[in-house]
Structure 1
Amino acid sequence: MTKNGWGLVGTGRIADDRILPGINAHAGNRLVAIVSRDQGRADTFAKKFGAQHAYTSFDEMLRNPEVTVVAIHTPNAQHADQAVAAARAGKHVFCDKPMATSVADAERIVRECERAGVKLGINFHNRFMPCFVETRRILESGEIGEVQLVQLEASPGARPGARLATWRVDPVLAGLGTTYSIGVHVYDILRYLLASEITMVSAFFDTPYGVMEETNMSLFRFANGVLAQLSVHEKSPFPHNDFVIYGSKGRIVGRGLTRSRAGGELQVMTVDGKTRSTEFPATNAHGACVAAFSDALLDGRDPVPSGIDGLRSVQVTDAMARSAWGGVHVRLAY
């Protein structure tokens, strides 16, 4: 059996506790190489996860013919150049979110992957949370009628000082704050659930231009007419992490379900006024996302979430930043 030969760049927490275990858990994968700026850290990760090679040079890893797919988990601003280099080397690309920190760079990644004939997938792991899979099934069934309005909160809780020593507070490396670290997952999940594109945004950040925002309050209008109200933040110590989807014949409420590392309850109220509830435990959605991308490579299919999903996310967050900094509504056209 031909296996996917993985190389990973970026040895942070997510790679350590989610992505690398996910790669190794799939029977169709083989971990070939790890890249870190620090040789000692590269060696440690290679030993821990069974990689054959430990590099400090990304280019050197790309020259290894056993590497057929590259997982990119570096600071946001580095994604574009690394994804393009991987594509030009003939490697498939599995990129962490955000795919890039500018629309131009996101378009460049998609273009170069298409030109090289390699697959491009994005780590939008919330799509693999069972609660959202079930929510989409309910919406598609028409059980709550036509969706009219969505309200959603996503937050890890207050993290005072937790990021001060990391690249995530550097606007050059991070691009945006909580919008990128937390928000992109729920912006994408609404596109997935509603099967519609965002056509207008209005956003408010809690900080001025150039300072990493910890709160993003935003409104979306979708092409299908649905309005959404979203709160994404890292300030309050006790977030609900709920979502509510109002339909013409019912309502779906997700209690504590917008973050994959915590479980919660899905409540569905139907036209007769009755409510049914289902408990959903915390799930390893990252592992499921890696597995889906791995399967797509082995089957020769286009992965989902795709590079276009990554591009749409960057287009939306770019519009949000322009709205927040300019105090205006921003329309999107694709």
Structure 2
Amino acid sequence: MSDLIRSVVVGAGMIGAVHAAAIRAAGGELAGVVASTPERGARTAEEWRVPGRYPHLDAVLDDDSVSVVHVCTPNALHVRQAEAALAAGKHVVCEKPLAISAAEAERLTRLAEESGLVLAVPFVYRYHPLVREIRDRRLRGEFGAWQLIHGSYLQDWMLAEDAMSWRVDPSQGGPSRAFADIGSHWCDLVEWVAGVRFTELTARLGTTVPTRPAGTGASFTAATGGPRAEVRTEDVATVLLRTGDGVLGTLTVSQVSAGRKNRLWFELDGAAASAVFDQENPETAWLGAPDGARVLFRDPNHGSAEQRRLSRLPAGHAQGYADCFTSFVADAYAAVRGATPEGLPTGADGVRSARIVEAVLTSSASLTWTDVAVDPVPVAP
């Protein structure tokens, strides 16, 4: 296989543009883009300075020079498009949620495993260097047995009553919006960093804006006038969780918290020490001990091997979300070449996430504690 990996992005929205930039930054070749219509695809190809023209997904699947398909379309399209790519022998990077049901996510993951192809899912917050540092310290026993796990993921982009998105429509985004969109990120990150599995939970979902503009606009947009539709997906969620070892956890999720743009925050409280990470301030982590606390700064010259590996810039030169995405794509492409990168989220992690989402929906509907379906993935060391 040539060292150069040629990739096509399916989906021309905001996250598609993020994937396109990460492909190039990771050393791949962006061969083309497929949009909702051939006309939009051609316009996007011009904007992204992409030489290839693919009017539809079938044209990509017929091109033997394309190795990887990045699926960045509305959630309901993920399984069909990713399955078609895998069946055509293409590796797949599929946006989360991998599918809008756990059964579909399982089917897609089995297909990838049976085909020997990479199926990667962008739980990219794993790629903050200080997240890796906290995980390494946990592996070395620095924190002791967990006493409590807690945190939140807060945004405000759906606060205005005229805010709209295709994600609001369950037929496109799935039955869960806020939790499946961002709560899933928190659960993946915390389970991976802390080395735990949430085995049962009780959840409550709430919709604070009862109607929004009808239609399926791009995320982070608003519309005034015209018909409105009942909102059937949640704006907020609260979840009480319990791990297999009996440790309690709490999570608050919101897309209507004024001033909070993308605040994924967690605290892990251990018998010997604690750790805090805030995604909006990713250059530092807070470490607590009985005799005080200190702030740890990202530094490629100190700390764990993984923190150093993922530190793309010198200390004091801020890294963020785009750097995480570049590192994730670079690891996905390393897996395509046969490597086994540390912490690469795959289809199995997408299945895990889908099962947690289904447990949250079941619990909220029944107002009971609900078991998270057993998954075949062992707890990461």
TM-score above 0.5: yes
For residue 86 of structure 1, give the secondary structure of its aligned residue in structure 2.
Answer: helix
Shift of the alpha carbon at 1:9? 0.4
Shift of the alpha carbon at 1:278? 2.3
Q: Partner of 2:153 in structure 1?
A: 154
Shift of the alpha carbon at 1:130? 1.8
The total of aligned residue pairs comes to: 327
- Please show how residues 283-302 of structure 1 align to structure 2 within 5 Å: 283=320, 284=322, 285-301=324-340
Letter matched to residue 93 of structure 1 = V
Determine the C-alpha separation between the residues in 2 that align with 1:214 and 1:143. Answer: 37
Q: Partner of 2:379 in structure 1?
A: none
For residue 203 of structure 1, give the secondary structure of its aligned residue in structure 2.
Answer: strand
- Please show how residues 140-289 of structure 1 align to structure 2 within 5 Å: 140-157=139-156, 159-161=158-160, 164-175=163-174, 176-207=176-207, 211-239=232-260, 241-254=264-277, 257-259=278-280, 262-263=281-282, 265-271=284-290, 273-279=291-297, 281-283=318-320, 284=322, 285-289=324-328
- Please show how residues 50-89 of structure 1 align to structure 2 within 5 Å: 50-89=49-88
Which of 361, 365, 373 is the equivalent residue of 1:321?
361
Determine the C-alpha separation between the residues in 1 that align with 2:49 and 2:24. Answer: 9
Determine the C-alpha separation between the residues in 2 that align with 1:147 and 1:50. Answer: 49
For residue 6 of structure 1, give the secondary structure of its aligned residue in structure 2.
Answer: strand
Structure 1 residues 196 and 265: alpha-carbon distance in aligned structure 2, compared to 1, 3 A threshold: same
Choose 117-126 or 129-138, whichever is displaced more.
129-138
For residue 53 of structure 1, give the secondary structure of its aligned residue in structure 2.
Answer: coil
Letter matched to residue 276 of structure 1 = R
Is the Cα contact below 8 Å between 2:128 and 2:282 reproduced in 1? no
Determine the C-alpha separation between the residues in 2 that align with 1:146 and 1:41. Answer: 53
Choose 5-14 or 290-299, whichever is displaced more.
290-299
For residue 235 of structure 1, give the secondary structure of its aligned residue in structure 2.
Answer: coil
Letter matched to residue 37 of structure 2 = D
Determine the C-alpha separation between the residues in 2 that align with 1:308 and 1:224. Answer: 22
Structure 1 residues 163 and 249: alpha-carbon distance in aligned structure 2, compared to 1, 3 A threshold: farther
Shift of the alpha carbon at 1:318? 0.7
Which of 320, 330, 334 is the equivalent residue of 2:370?
330
Determine the C-alpha separation between the residues in 2 that align with 1:301 and 1:265. Answer: 28
- Which runs of 4 or more aligned residues in structure 1 lie more than 3 Å from their structure 2 counterparts after TM superposition? 161-165, 207-210, 238-242, 262-265, 279-282, 299-303
Shift of the alpha carbon at 1:241? 4.7
Is the Cα contact below 8 Å between 2:99 and 2:105 reproduced in 1? yes
Shift of the alpha carbon at 1:52? 3.2
RMSD between aligned residues: 2.2
Determine the C-alpha separation between the residues in 2 that align with 1:83 and 1:57. Answer: 14
Q: TM-score, normalised by structure 2?
A: 0.80
Return 5+ residue gaps in structure 2 as ranges: 211-229, 299-317, 376-381
Determine the C-alpha separation between the residues in 2 that align with 1:210 and 1:86. Answer: 33
Q: Partner of 2:91 in structure 1?
A: 92
Letter matched to residue 114 of structure 1 = E
Is the Cα contact below 8 Å between 1:37 and 1:56 reproduced in 2? no
Letter matched to residue 8 of structure 1 = V
Is the Cα contact below 8 Å between 1:149 and 1:246 reproduced in 2? yes
Name the % identity: 28
Q: TM-score, normalised by structure 1?
A: 0.91
Shift of the alpha carbon at 1:155? 1.2
